[in-house]
Structure 1
Amino acid sequence: MPGSASRRSLLAVALAAAAGTAAAGAAPASASVPEPGAAAGEAARAAAGTVANRFWSTYADWRSGAAEGTRAVSGHRPGLELDAPLGRTAYTDPHTGLTSSWEYARWTSPVHTPAVPATEVIASWNARTPAGTWLQVELSGTYTDGTETPWFVMGRWASGDSDIRRTSVDDQTDGRGTVWTDTFAVDDPASGLRLAAYRLRLTLYRRPGTALTPLVWRIGAMASDVPDRFTVPASAPGLARELTVPRYSQNTHVGQYPEYDNGGEAWCSPTSSQMIVEYWGRRPSAAELAWVDPAFADPQVCHAARHTYDHQYRGCGNWPFNAAYAAAYPDLNAVVTRLRSLADLETLIGAGVPVITSQSFRQEELTGAGYGTSGHLMTVIGFTADGDVIANDPASPDNESVRRVYLRREWENIWLRTKRYNASGKVASGTGGVCYLYFPDRPTPAQRKALQAVGVL
């Protein structure tokens, strides 16, 4: 199985109901990079205006916010760190019951008005959190009718698990918008209500009396208003290229470390993340992997699962937690966003940037998959000459069988739709193009151009 029904997918079904919704070795890369076809271009234009990203990452960005005990750090990778604590606070970890004292400081972004008044907002961040430190990300906003939300916690993060248990926070709602694990969503999009503007608040914590500090070099959010749709327009192939990406199967790890979401059978997200981390030439050190049973193959996948695990969600599929894990490696950036079309995906693959995509489908909806899923991550690594999707699918029996080719039309629809019928015939949600993008701090000109084209840089 590629993973059991996630809490996010189950809550998304409830959200849809509340809104009244009805009804063998690495292949060589090809140098062929034709222009996108007319149909693909039309589909991309039709989807324009549905997604807007804003990420704070420059020295000017860090100086533009409201700093309360934090300071901007310059250099080739500007960031934000704790300078003079505002004071101390007690935090009781809901997953251990332990209460600890922490010094803290805060930074609040300027109010941002996205080009897309949003039905959903997903925050993500890139940071280093040494032992003895952690961080919290919050979001507040203003609805299109002028009313304001409270501050919603979008995640409590530490790269390790010795100080706090990294966690999302359940049961956050103002009766008009709700946080579902890692996503803020308007409860009733059909009413026309949208989030018109938002701010992010970053709180940095450290052990009292130390000089420790997290260092954050990117924080931001993807705002979107993707229309409800069971199908999306078909696009014409625009690219033939395949990237050489490491192949790992989550099923190699079935039964290993069941404390992290029942072991490898549910590790599609961290397995996909590890593939792309290694594509960019990074991987955990031998010392970092020393905790893994030496009898286990691909211990780095176990490592990724442990370090993406959300103790509230009880799974490794928290989207921004996976991005934060990837970005903890030297000079890597990572964001959670939505792409609007396969043309966007072709743009990235053409520049050498693989993409981790999120989708759900019944077994008969994706020829050759051999399974159905309420939520699954895989890595798109290219397109065939016919335009079909080449994916490293971790829901494979072993590493050798990870590379799959999926029919373009089927794959396009299951990834980009926002509504679907599940195996019981009931209406459920689709992810509407959600993906993770991991990329180097100093991308090539072609990579920078591609990332700019999809609104990330």
Structure 2
Amino acid sequence: MTSSAPRRTVLAAALAAAAGAAAPLARAAFEPGPATPTAATTPGTAAPHRPKSLVDYHSWTTAADWTQGRIEGTIVWPGPRPGVRIGHAAGTADYHDPHTGKAATWEYATWTGPVHRLTVPATEVVASWNAHTPAGTWIAVELRGAYSDGGHTPWYVMGRWTAGDGEADIRRTSVDDQKDGKSSISTDTFAIDTPSSGLRLVSYQLRLTLYRKPGTPLTPTVWRLGAMGSDIPDRFDVPASRPGTVGRELSVPRYSQEIHKGQYPEYDNGGEAWCSPTSSEMIIEYWGRRPTREQLAWVDPAYADPQVCHAARHTFDYQYKGCGNWPFNAAYAATYRDMQSVVTRLASLNDIERLVHAGIPVITSQSFLKTELDGAGYGTAGHLMTVIGFTQHGDVIANDPASPDDPAVRRVYKRRQFENIWLRTKRYDAKGQVKSGSGGVCYLYFPAKPAPTQHRVLAELGIR
């Protein structure tokens, strides 16, 4: 069985093909659900020694964080989850939606973050966000960085996003053809064009622009805005980690993408390519959230697991024409009650062991030949699956959506094989050509108020 690539995984090759200038426009419903699962209370074993981090994830989430930014029409909204929203319009802007053909005028307000100096001068940066966007509202997330040679990037659009896709909404989209001769945007990832030159991004700013229909009191609210900068070296093989905290398996729902083949082909050609939203839905439901019956009313009642169809529709990137945009999946998960999410990179399976021991499953991105992962039965240029536990010997227990049916989703993969295909940045395809790997990319979804054990582990991994 071959799993379709869920998103662009070949970063270096894609950058060489990027062309054009940054786009000129530079500016989910909440429903009740069961309580959050009880976190792990058994103390973990001592964490293995962690090498020097190659990743810097930084976020703005608190009232103090938001007040550090420069505001034009936005206000800091207090409460259990402080955020920014429109206080008054700073101006209006016209936007012609390339995916609907509609042109409209929007009120907007902006929040521009302070300069964040990267602890790891980066070759890549991925932004992610958590927001509520009522119908007729949307947000744009942009990044501007400083190079190690003293120059600066333009304001790059990292995403134009809204939770919905109704008549009043734009279509969520990445923006192609953004580059400045030193760096480029490939779907959801900023990357230095030639890392071997030594050029790095040493700092960045993020800018939020919040949009709404003129005259309406509705407003987006953004609770979390962050970015993961990294400098992962080119590597075909990654040193193996020794098993640490193992022997726990989380009870995560099992959903197959393969049973959705042919369903709603307008969303990434149907279910065979839905590994990312299928994985997202598994963890959303692990935390006791799911779409309401009303939200699922549009799905053909003959289809099993309609919530997977819903996740595919609401993670779909209309420019990329796929459901594998990393930040769009994270943003979708955070539309559910009291949920938050980030896109980051981890250093080894030891990091995932600690998260799983604390009760947090992890979605990982990897690509591999059929011969490189025993028991998978397929090869893929890019695939998302959910790590839900570890055997007593340290092998990986994964919910792999590229399975023929829901009961077959649970798999056990050899630790060494899994870790290498997830963490490497270079690989050979079936023709012997060099391709790229994700370098340890993962999605982390967790409650707005994680349990103390979860909070501690997340903080130790740079997530606050």
Choose from 227, 231, 236 the match for 2:233.
Answer: 227
Residue 362 of structure 2 contacts residue 443 of structure 2 at CA under 8 Å; is this kept in 1?
yes
The answer to whether residue 380 in structure 2 is matched with residue 373 in structure 1 is yes
CA contact (8 A) 2:4 2:383 kept: no
**Which residue in 1 is equivalent to 2:32?**
none
Q: Is residue 218 of structure 2 the alignment partner of residue 190 of structure 1?
A: no
Counterpart residue type for residue 210 of structure 1 = T
1:192-239, Cα deviation, whole Å (9 max, x unpaired)? 100000000000000011101001000010000011111111111112
8 Å contact from structure 2 (residues 12, 193) kept in 1: no
Deviations 1:341-386 (A, max 9, x none): 1111111011000000000000000000000000000000000001
Other-structure match for 1:8: 8
Aligned to 2:133: 129
Structure 2 equivalent of residue 440 of structure 1: 447
Q: TM-score, normalised by structure 1?
A: 0.94
Greater CA drift, 227-236 or 268-277:
227-236
| Counterpart position of 1:24 | none
**Structure 1: how far apart are the matches of 2:261 and 2:5?**
17
Residues 53-89 of structure 1: per-residue CA shift (max 9 Å, x gap): 1110000111110000000011111011011101111
Separation (CA, whole Å) in 2 of partners of 1:9 and 1:343: 24
| Mapped partners of 1:87, 1:15: distance in 2 | 34
Partners of 1:316 and 1:230 lie apart in 2 by 27
The answer as to 2:116 corresponding to 1:112 is yes
Contact kept, 8 Å, 1:123 with 1:320, in 2: the verdict is yes
Quote the Cα distance in structure 1 between the aligned partners of 2:127 and 2:88: 26
1:175-205 Cα shifts (integer Å, max 9, x gaps): 1000000000000111110000000000000
Partner of 1:161: 165
- The C-alpha deviation readout for 1:254-295, integer Å capped at 9, x for no partner, is 110000001100000000000000000000100000100111
* Residues 111-146 of structure 1, C-alpha deviations (whole Å, 9 max, x = no match): 000100000000000000000100000000000111
Structure 1 residues 3 and 168: CA distance shift in structure 2, 3 A: farther
Q: Per-residue deviation at 1:9?
A: 2.7
Q: Quote the Cα distance in structure 1 between the aligned partners of 2:66 and 2:304.
A: 42
Q: Contact 1:135/1:157 (CA < 8 Å) preserved in 2?
A: yes
- Of 19, 22, 35, which residue of structure 1 is paired with 2:45? 35
CA distance in structure 2 between the partners assigned to 1:155 and 1:249 by the alignment: 28
In the superposition, the TM-score normalised over structure 2's length comes to: 0.92
Q: Aligned pairs, how many? A: 441
Q: Provide the rounded CA distance (Å) in 2 between the counterparts of 1:194 and 1:17.
A: 20
Asked if the contact 2:423/2:440 (under 8 Å) is kept, the reply is: yes
Classify 1:416/1:408 alpha carbon distance in 2 versus 1 (closer, same or farther; 3 Å). Answer: same
Distance 1:159 1:236, change over 3 A: same
Query: Any conservation in 2 of the 1:326–1:332 contact (CA below 8 Å)?
Result: yes
Distance across 2 between alignment mates of 1:273 and 1:297 = 17
Give the drift of 1:30: 10
Q: Which amino acid is the alignment partner of residue 35 of structure 1?
A: T
RMSD of Structure 2 on Structure 1 (CA):
1.7
Contact 2:277 2:329 in 1 (8 A): yes
Q: Which runs of 5+ in 2 are unaligned?
A: 19-38
| 2:86 matches 1:82 | yes
| Distance (Å, rounded) in 2 between the aligned partners of 1:16 and 1:304 | 32
Partner Cα separation in structure 1 for residue 40 and residue 205 of structure 2: 43
> Residue 10 and residue 235 in structure 1: after superposition, are their counterparts in 2 closer, same or farther (change >3 A)?
closer
Contact 2:5 2:273 in 1 (8 A): no
Q: CA deviation at 1:7?
A: 5.8
- Check whether the contact 2:5–2:383 (CA below 8 A) recurs between aligned residues: no
Find the partner of 2:395 among 376, 380, 388.
388
What is aligned with 1:399?
A: 406
Task: Name the aligned partner's letter for residue 171 of structure 2.
Answer: R
1:26 corresponds to which residue? none
Q: Which runs of 5+ in 1 are unaligned?
A: 19-28
Contact 2:6 2:323 in 1 (8 A): no
What's the % identity of the aligned pairs? 67
Q: Is the 8 A contact 1:105 1:204 kept in 2?
A: yes
